[in-house]
Amino acid sequence: MARSRAAYEYTEAEDKSMRLGFLLIAAGLLSLLGLGCCWLRPALQERGGGGSANCTVLAVRQLGERFACTFSCGAACRGTARYPCLQVLVRTSRSSAPALLHEDERQLRTNPKCSYIPPCARDDQENSENVTYKQKYWKEKVGSQPFTCYFNQHLRPDDVMLKRTHDETVLLHCFLWPVVTFLVGVLIVVLTICARSLAVRAEAIKKKKHL
């Protein structure tokens, strides 16, 4: 009676391990599929045809046009303010044509006409001061010093980015963790099957010895 009960508990533990393994396999596959569709594929498309270059500032200017931004001053407090448009024109080592510099891909998508979007404050004057500070930074501190920038000739040939939103580390983690989850699930299933096979063989050997 005790022997049959122990065998039942052991089989139940194996079944739980198998279910856990298949759950991890499914989670890894679904995560990889979801990240591939929603994050990895767009990131690779942004990086496709792109590369890095050395950029040199040609001109820094403020346009007369102002753009709206949304500020938050509490849980139920939101409003709209405006900021001036700053443009930083650069020349890259890959092309002699001037290009418009942007902070990153996110800023480029938010406002493709400007090079900088300040943290949105309620006061328009504060937004203007932040933009003016950034303008002085590019004129006085950077000046004619070369710096690394990134471009994509296929998607945005007339724009360059100061930094990438989707760098190699982010892409690595998008691919790595779903694969690790999948492999852990496979390992659990394989080890459970092997343990069950060894238990069956050991039981068969015991029966042969008692015969």
If you write DSSP's letter for every residue of 26-81 in order, what string do you get? HHHHHHHHHHIIIIIHHHHHHHTTEEEEEEEEEEEEEEEEEEEEEEEEETTEEEEE
Work out the average pLDDT over 156-163: 83
* Alpha-carbon span 198 to 14, nearest angstrom: 13
pLDDT digits (tens, 9 = 90+) for 166-195: 555 666 667 778 888 889 999 998 988 888
How many other β-carbons are positioned within 10 Å of the β-carbon of residue 188?
19
Q: What is the pLDDT of residue 7?
A: 45
Mean pLDDT is lowest, of 21-35, 85-99, 154-168, for 154-168
Token pair listed for 19:
């279910």
Give the residue among 169, 164, 42 at the shortest CA–CA distance from 103.
164
User: Per-residue confidence at 89, pLDDT binned at 50, 70, 90?
Assistant: very high
pLDDT digits (tens, 9 = 90+) for 14-57: 788 888 888 988 988 887 777 666 555 555 555 545 678 889 99
Q: Which long-range contacts (CB under 8 A, 24 or more apart) does 133-142 make?
A: 134/86, 135/60, 135/62, 135/86, 138/57, 138/60, 138/88, 139/57, 139/60, 142/57
Q: Residue 154 corresponds to which amino acid? A: H
Contact 50, 151 (CB under 8 A): yes
Burial class (CB in 10 A: 0-12, 13-18, 19+), 165: middle
Residue 136 has pLDDT above 90, yes or no: yes
Contact 104, 115 (CB under 8 A): no
**Strand 156-161 to 95-102 pairing:** parallel
Could you tell me if residue 42 is left (phi over 0), alpha (psi between -120 and 50 degrees) or otherwise beta?
alpha
The average confidence (pLDDT) of the chain is: 81
* Alpha-carbon span 122 to 114, nearest angstrom: 20
Going by C-beta distance under 8 Å and a sequence separation of 6 or more, which residues neighbour residue 1?
A: none
Residue 118 has pLDDT above 60, yes or no: yes
Q: What three-state secondary structure class fits 89?
A: strand
